[in-house]
Amino acid sequence: MIASAYYLSPDEYLRLEVEAAVKHEYIDGEVYAMAGASEAHVTIAGNLFALIRNHVRGTGCRVYISDMKARIDARNRFYYPDVMVTCDLRDQEALEYKRFPKLVVEVLSKPTEAFDRGDKFIDYQLLESLEEYVLVNTRCQRVECFRRNEAGLWVLQSYTPEAKEFTLQSIDFTDTFVALYEDVAFERDAD
């Protein structure tokens, strides 16, 4: 990610982002160009979007793929999650971003994995509506679900192919690793 050299207000960012050829995430006045995604990344995100879209159809919930921003007012941030679900009617007010997601999914890529696991997750935790933060691996079949419990603590549950299925509790959804990773050519670590 490459940062801008000057400060932008959230309104300036939103105005410029509409016309930008490249998507940018916004962190406290600075914008960061997003790198392109690998084939595995795009395939996994697309598979999950399709599975969740069919699941939430008719429930009042909406699922979004990587072109919709999540706004984190408490930290002055805008991120583009790979998949996001919101069931909050207030999210129908803004067309450029959503502020009340209950589920955020990031498909991991080597250049952004540390950020997705670290600072980005810390920022997402400030969304009171967020019930589940999910990381999906592109180098092997692995799904990590961080869930907010009744005490407000984030608890990790990992799924591997031995379980055959994974569950997204926030939207009462269960599906198979076969469906999630359909047509995926796994990324290899460069030595």
Domain definitions of the chain by residue range: 1-34, 38-180
Average per-residue pLDDT in the chain?
Answer: 93
SS3 60: coil
Q: Mean pLDDT across the stretch 90-117?
A: 95
Question: What pLDDT digit, counting tens, does each position of 153-188 carry?
Answer: 999 999 999 999 999 999 999 999 999 999 999 877
* CB burial readout 157-189, b (16+ within 10 A) else e: eebebeeeebbbebbebebebeebbeebeebee
Question: What pLDDT digit, counting tens, does each position of 23-36 carry?
Answer: 999 999 999 998 87
* DSSP per-residue codes, 74-108: GGTEEE--SEEEE--GGGGS-SSEES-EEEEEEE-
Would the pLDDT of 2 be above 60? Answer: no
What pLDDT is stored for residue 141 in this prediction?
96
Q: Mean pLDDT across the stretch 42-51?
A: 97
What pLDDT is stored for residue 14 in this prediction?
94
What pLDDT is stored for residue 7 in this prediction?
86
Would the pLDDT of 119 be above 80? Answer: yes
Q: Which tokens belong to 131?
A: 């019930």
* DSSP per-residue codes, 110-154: TTTHHHHHTHHHHHHTT-TT--EEEEE-SSSS-EEEEEE-TTS-E
Radius of gyration of the chain (CA): 16
Please answer whether residues 51 and 62 qualify as being in contact, where contact means their C-beta atoms are separated by less than 8 angstroms. Answer: no
| Residue 152 pLDDT level (bands cut at 50, 70, 90) | very high
Would the pLDDT of 38 be above 50? Answer: yes
What pLDDT is stored for residue 5 in this prediction?
54
Please answer whether residues 121 and 58 qualify as being in contact, where contact means their C-beta atoms are separated by less than 8 angstroms. Answer: no
The CATH architecture annotation of domain 38-180 reads Alpha-Beta Complex (3.90)
Nearest Cα to 124, choosing from 137, 136, 115?
Answer: 115
What pLDDT is stored for residue 15 in this prediction?
94
Q: Which tokens belong to 70?
A: 């999540």
Residue with tokens 């999910």: 134
What pLDDT is stored for residue 35 in this prediction?
80
